[in-house]
A and B are shown apart, each in its own frame.
Chain A
């Protein structure tokens, strides 16, 4: 049986907006296993983003438990969470979120800085990763000098910098045309098959979700349907 990487147990997240309390998550249960390609789908307002924040250890739940590698992280402090994020999870965002003042290679090196990896090692690894995503000739370009697809590939390289087990991709193709989007998706599949990474992809696109082996449908802060192929 496969090991579970991330498990959410009856997770609630309540936001207070003025006097009104909004439950973004209402008892969410989720079990993601090692090496899986998971798609999380749901209409807007379904709690997708909140769920991603929980899975990515960016936020802690109001109620419930989150296990990462069977350690409960729902009560950890900000700095401990940051360390865990940096090591275990690679983020890919819809808006790429590269640091505009840094070059491609500097962006890829950034996560390694926070893990205290020496400069030589950082440089070497970042170079390898940029080659892997096919941007070996764009290392010293700034994000503004790269196309959307190229920027997202830099972001993919950055997400791999600390060799994380899990890649969390939040609408990774949302800002790309369909051809480049398909290209990015190919990369994710490649990572899944060749590197055995756990990929968690949030999307509202049925067609994208098809590449996943495991699809969770979210509505009103709960899973309403779960399919495994």
Chain B
């Protein structure tokens, strides 16, 4: 076997464009789908990792167990006493209770309903670090800003939330009370967080007097050297005893930030995995298609195979020629599939970003590109193997006689 045979296979391939082209199309579809799906999967994973890095791995959440989003269920909450109790626990570095409720927001006579969050102004840096968001326009809330609000990213644009963009200095009404907008947060990438409204804890308490000291969730950071997962189980046990609840029936749960991300990642992975599996089915079709093409090619070229054998081609030479030819069909399908997949996922990413899901951003690591190409080459070569073996085993005398 040698490199010259590879060239011969290439020549043959070039000279049978139509059928090769159709077969390439079948593998192209599968690779396109796989590449596009994986690029999204990897993109989301990168986003999650970045999130974990920015907010640090030492964060925990204690959340009231209720129906719907935290804080929306009146009957389940964490009290000020709970927060104070946890604040005194060993291993807890910093903590803050968060208010969370749906509010009516009115701007230029247009009404919308979104979540409003009440923040303890003394802990605002801690909150921003945990959510890994920063003010990109205007300024943070500070103590005494009880008639002021900061808004999520999406409010800054026409036709996104209100007909007109909201600007720093504009007035909005929350549940009928006027607030001055003093800043905007950067884009998080999902429509819920990017539509949040932030006010001070005191402002929140005056908007919802019944909800004073009833927190939807508590954010905690563990001290240096304390494992968040250990702190989580200790918190759960101690808080349960403090609240006099039975194990398994507590009205709260503790989750580390990593756990929360892991849950999210797992869901994404499962969905992505299933889609990739479906795409793999199309590759099975491509596999059969390449096999069929190669069997046909071998029938068609039986005499040619006989001639090649007569003039000195060994079985392995013939095998290599046809395996290379099939592999080439696969590889070309792979190259085109990667290009088309890149094109499709880029468009998909732009559409997702335009609809507020900026976290759905595809990523194209080199390993993905090379992996897809190698995979398509192998699929082609494997599909060509059996036909090629049959070709290589043809007896020269019989092959020469074939018409």
Contact = CB atoms under 8 A, between A and B. Distances in A.
A85 B312 contact: yes
B303 to A, nearest CB: 7
Q: Could you say which of B8, B307, B397, B400 has the most chain A C-beta atoms within 10 Å of its C-beta?
A: B307
Given A58-B400, A59-B395, A59-B397, A101 B12 contact: yes
A99 B307 contact: yes
Interface residues of B, number: 27
B173 interface: no
A115 B2 CA distance: 9
B11 A114 contact: no
Contacts of B2: 113, 116
B4 A82 contact: no
A98 B315 CA distance: 20
Nearest to A170: B400
A119 B4 contact: yes
Contact of A58 (B15, B303, B397): B397
B8 A85 contact: no
A110 B11 CA distance: 12
Interface residues of A, number: 33
Given A58-B396, A85-B312, A114-B313, A102 B307 contact: no
Contacts of B11: 101-102, 106
B397 A91 contact: no
Interface string B280-314: 00000000000000000000000110111111111
A86 interface: yes
A110 B4 CA distance: 10
**Chain B interface secondary structure, helix, strand, loop or mixed?**
helix
Interface in A59-97: 59, 78-79, 82-83, 85-87, 91, 93, 97
Contacts of B395: 59
Interface in B1-42: 2, 4-5, 7-8, 11-12, 15-16
Contact of B315 (A79, A97, A122): A79
Nearest to B12: A101
A35 interface: no
A175 interface: no
Contacts of A58: 309-310, 396-397, 400
A110 B311 CA distance: 8
A102 B10 CA distance: 12
Interface in B368-403: 395-397, 400
Contact of B312 (A86, A98, A118): A86
A116 B314 CA distance: 12
A153 interface: no
Interface string A128-154: 000000000000000000000000000
Contacts of A158: 311
A56 interface: yes
B314 A82 contact: yes
Nearest to B14: A101
Contacts of B314: 78-79, 82-83, 114
A106 B312 CA distance: 15
Contacts of A42: none
A161 B304 CA distance: 18
A85 B4 contact: no
A53 interface: yes
B397 A82 contact: no
A116 B4 contact: yes
Interface string A12-26: 000000000000000
B299 to A, nearest CB: 15
A111 B397 contact: no
A162 interface: yes
A161 B310 CA distance: 13
A79 B317 CA distance: 10
A53 B397 contact: yes
Given A58-B310, A78-B315, A110 B400 contact: no
Contacts of A115: 312
Interface of B: 2, 4-5, 7-8, 11-12, 15-16, 303-304, 306-317, 395-397, 400
20 contacts: A53-B397, A56-B310, A59-B396, A82-B312, A82-B315, A85-B310, A93-B400, A97-B306, A97-B310, A99-B308, A106-B11, A110-B8, A114-B312, A114-B317, A115-B312, A116-B2, A119-B4, A122-B4, A158-B311, A161-B311
Given A91-B310, A122-B4, 5 more contacts: A79-B316, A85-B312, A86-B313, A91-B311, A161-B311
Interface of A: 53, 56, 58-59, 78-79, 82-83, 85-87, 91, 93, 97-102, 106, 110-111, 113-119, 122, 158, 161-162
